[in-house]
Amino acid sequence: MIEKSAPCKIQFFSEQTNQLYSLMPTRRAPTMLISGIPMHRIKDTEPHTDTLEKIKTIAPITGYVLDTATGLGYTAIQAAQTAEHVTTIELDPAALEVARLNPWSQSLFENLKITQVIGDSSEEIKKFGANTFARIIHDPPMFNLAGDLYSGEFYRHLFRVLQPRGRLFHYIGDLESKSGRVVTKGVMRRLQETGFKRVSPRPAAFGVIAFK
């Protein structure tokens, strides 16, 4: 007789951030919930398509890439398909525990082109030299959960570590929603004040792009 093991929920509580991280199935790639909030788009799409939309905005992905928020590693994994190297930063080890058990995240742990850093992006970014990265994927949690990652000070570091003519994708959320419009306006203004050029919305990817 073949014994079937009962399905079990993948979830971890983080004492570091006091958040519950769990894996939530969709019709394709799963998303991660942080205290109930999905970290990828799941309405009228699913996380894999969402990832491709983000990456497409700053294609071709070449050279050294910085991914400021690892999560399930989908953006890092996708970028590593064409990049020379990807450095990806995650604040909470609990998120990586979830990723370890997610079949869609396995390349994050296997692809030698990906370097994982555990830490706060707003601190870790200070350790990179100027003009290091050809592309930056900035996919933070929503504004009210991670304000530091939307600040002028953080953008100045993004600008510093980006190579001349390098490209940034900054995820924001639905640009057309009431709160999205307000956040987008502030993000675009601060990016321009920092020195970024050709700052423009990419509504299909729920974010904006900018060039150095």
Q: Which residues form the interface with ligand SAM (CB under 6 A)?
A: 39, 51, 69, 71-75, 89-92, 95, 120-122, 139-141, 146, 149
Q: Nearest approach, Cβ of 151 to ligand SAM (angstroms)?
A: 11
Report the chain's C-alpha Rg in angstroms.
17
CB of 90 to ligand SAM, least distance (A): 5
Q: CA separation (Å) from 1 to 8, 204, 208? A: 21, 50, 55
Q: How far is the CB of 37 from ligand SAM (least distance, A)?
A: 9
Q: Torsions phi, psi of 35, nearest 5?
A: 45, 50
Cα 159 to chain centroid distance, Å, stands at: 17
Judged by beta carbon, residue 62 or residue 107, the one nearer ligand SAM is 107
Place of tokens 């080890």: 93
Q: How far is the CB of 64 from ligand SAM (least distance, A)?
A: 17
Start-end of H helices in 101-177: 107-110, 121-124, 152-161
Q: Please state the closest distance from residue 145 (CB atom) to ligand SAM, in A.
A: 7
Among 99, 126, 131, 94, residue whose Cα is nearest residue 114: 99
Residue 46 or 139: the one with the smaller Cβ distance to ligand SAM is 139
Rank residues 73 and 166 by Cβ distance to ligand SAM and give the closer one: 73
- For ligand SAM, the closer of residues 50 and 164 by Cβ is 50
Q: Which CB, 5 or 70, lies closer to ligand SAM?
A: 70
Q: Which residue is nearest to ligand SAM (CB)?
A: 71
Which H helix or E strand runs over 87?
strand 85-90
